[in-house]
Structure 1
């Protein structure tokens, strides 16, 4: 049977309410914002920073393993065809595909909630400078995008293209974080170019995701409100990472130029 004429299997009718009722998500995100911007810093103000090394290592390791699982599931659900991101796709060709489509979506919901722990760790270690607007926006919005994936997606498994790219990036990123947490300072300094490359990879990811949007809109159709929200979030992330990259790069270049100048006292 041709792909274009295969039946579109519908979503199961018994999606748990935790994924359909937005108030669950809104409550968690509201508590997250309150803690990382107000309650957490106030709690830590008179206290010394926590070490939390074991928690950091466990968090980074679980993120890597989880993202590898996500990549494997996306490839199965799409029959290894997800890289043809311009193609229209239904949810699945068999009941097993449909079941794993939604099982993965539910897993992603909890995975993105678990990533909020990263900001909490920053606060408890009194690294509030790392709790930037970009950082909060990134973690906040990814949770909402998974909610959209579960409840408002009309583009079938093609919606997993951005999930695949993000998971690949996270395998690289959290592997770097894990190594940086256990390695000595000299080795971490040697990995500085890798950190810069990760930011470039992240921007490339968003560029590829934005390239998929017009293809899905023109060829497959997409509800305007979903398109507007999704595109706005991705553009916001791309701009944020680009701004971070250019700012950090300029600072590094300025420091290098200053250290290379001859000493005026000599």
Structure 2
């Protein structure tokens, strides 16, 4: 097969791929093609894993206290707004929490839902700053594979969500994730403000439980699709993606909870501290949504998304 034939085949496949795309989001920022976001994601991965650490190798860690305070509470405000928009565009104004289809019409509410999906998608790029701050502060133990994978895969998969399926039952996990982000980034912000605010963080111990509840709810909601007798949801592939993602992180959190709170409680205090440190600095510290961008907090830090 000649080069021109290969090029024509790829071009034809690409055009067919977009035949079922949502025309409403076609011209929105980053939406015309997946390649611009791919460039951003690749640049992010290269910076936090290779370029950034090399640049910081002979430099003193940056003191980003004030920046972290502003950043965390800004994300809180954005997450509150996203929650409100998800509720007003469907989840509090007509969705059944069962087989909710995507409304591709140009009605104000349908377009509002699509815009909210795009805003949630775009917020995933903002949250990449979590990892960048880790690198600039030389907190390399937090830059784990799962942490970077999470921050890379969320915007990547959500591009397809906004471009093809901006609404319906596939957005429930985004609403829940935004609610959790309000709580998590409030914690990060207060933590970044210093020891004087520790008295306001008495609820720290409940954060892992909140994350567990999130993933149970996400998995339960999306998996009901398989038990509904008639649910013509337009893009079932997203059901499989969301369900897989929810179950993976539910398993990771349950494993962490067992080692940190169940198994760990039976250990002497010194060994408990070692067990906790192991999880806060190891792979599990990244499984959460976010990322403990103020201080090290184990799975409490995530960001994070499902």
TM-score after normalising by structure 1: 0.80
Q: How far, CA to CA, are the matches of 2:210 and 2:27 in structure 1? A: 34
Q: What's the counterpart of residue 167 of structure 1?
A: 178
Out of 37, 41, 50, which is 1:38 matched to?
50
Per-residue deviation, residues 127-180 of structure 1 (Å, max 9, x unmatched): 1111122322222222123213212328x4322211111011000000011111
Q: How far, CA to CA, are the matches of 2:140 and 2:255 in structure 1? A: 19
Q: How far, CA to CA, are the matches of 1:242 and 1:233 in structure 2? A: 14
- Cα 1:79–1:143 change in 2 (3 A) is closer
Q: How far, CA to CA, are the matches of 1:245 and 1:56 in structure 2? A: 27
Paired residues in the alignment total 247
Q: What's the counterpart of residue 299 of structure 2?
A: none
Q: How far, CA to CA, are the matches of 2:186 and 2:151 in structure 1? A: 18
RMSD: 2.8
- Cα 1:224–1:105 change in 2 (3 A) is closer
Structure 2: any 5+ residue segments left out of the alignment?
Answer: 1-21, 273-306
Q: Check the 8 A contact 1:162/1:209 in 2, yes or no.
A: yes
- Of 207-216 and 112-121, the range deviating more from structure 2: 207-216
Per-residue deviation, residues 16-35 of structure 1 (Å, max 9, x unmatched): 36224111121111111111
Q: What's the counterpart of residue 254 of structure 1?
A: 267
Q: What's the counterpart of residue 200 of structure 1?
A: 209
Structure 1: any 5+ residue segments left out of the alignment?
Answer: 1-9, 260-266
Q: How far, CA to CA, are the matches of 1:213 and 1:221 in structure 2? A: 14
Q: What's the counterpart of residue 6 of structure 1?
A: none
- Cα 1:28–1:239 change in 2 (3 A) is farther
- Cα 1:48–1:198 change in 2 (3 A) is same
Q: How far, CA to CA, are the matches of 1:173 and 1:207 in structure 2? A: 18
SS in 2 for 1:19: coil
